Structure 1
Amino acid sequence: MAQVITITSGKGGVGKSTATANLSVGLAMQLEKIGKKVVAADFDIGLRNLDMLLGLENRIVYDVIDVMEGKCNLSQALINHKKTKNLYFLPASQTKDKTILDKDKVGKLIEALKAEFDYILIDSPAGIEGGFEHAILYADRALIVVTPEVSSVRDSDRVIGIIDAKSFKAQHNEQVEKYIIINRIKP
């Protein structure tokens, strides 16, 4: 059964995209031996960065919005990582805005990804608006990235509350597994 893991935070600039890139590459490398596939999906519509971190910025033809709007099929938008053969990338649109996302279209996209991949890592936009809500809606697990700053910690608490209230699992009296990643800590 495929796992949807959303990497999120309430505050920008804490390292969500870097965490998503590193986790997706590391997970894919570990799972390559047993034939499992990983996809990193960028849901930060309008502020695409995951492509650069994965070294795939020059290979984008179609994006997640093109798939949801039926301008291409999923396989046309997916980009296979050059070095990690069982890792794929689904880019965000850089020209659209996150208000274009629709709950039903996101649901269909996640189901299509689940049919093809064992692990789906979603790079969520910062904040608690619509783009964030779409990124956490179908999560089985959520990794909340925080930095040791009061504003980041407070925002992460709010994010956890929203996940517990608005995710598909929460609506069906189930729990989204939640984990905190503390980034940029100086012991």
Structure 2
Amino acid sequence: MTASTNRVEISLEINGRTITQSVPVRMHAADFLRQTLGLTGTHIGCEQGVCGMCTISVDDRVVKSCLLLAVQLDGARVRTVEALSDGDRLSLLQEAFKRHHALQCGFCTPGFLAVAKSLEAWGRVLTRAEIRDEISGVLCRCTGYEGIVRAIEDYLGAVHGMSAQTEVPA
């Protein structure tokens, strides 16, 4: 970095593709993804880490990209919502969201998808309470969350080859 440019060259893996890019030192990761790379599936809401709309995966951990600087992605493996589908073909997770009507306006959906994808690592179908706890960092104003929870439950059951454990409401 030079004082006159205030830019840094970073190299990272994004959705399976390695890129090297010069970025301003104070550019947020969310802005880098959207403005520089054209990955507009990562949405920006509150810009304070509260709403979860900008949630992505960095080195297999879900993070809120509005709270990171682009330079912090140097050397990282990043996955955005664009990595889920194969061209025009929806992934199992996206199909589950579609089947369970787990979206309305869709603004929060990329954040929920990022969190849901990360739940595969648990190796099992989570209880509804566990799912609700895990998705609590992403806010939705439209759906009431029930469809989202059912979609994630269904998806995890499909991925792990088991049926979801339906809880009886108290």
The answer to which structure has the higher helix fraction is 1
Instruction: Answer whether TM exceeds 0.5 for this pair.
Output: no
Structure (1 or 2) with the larger CA radius of gyration: 2
TM superposition score normalised by structure 1: 0.30
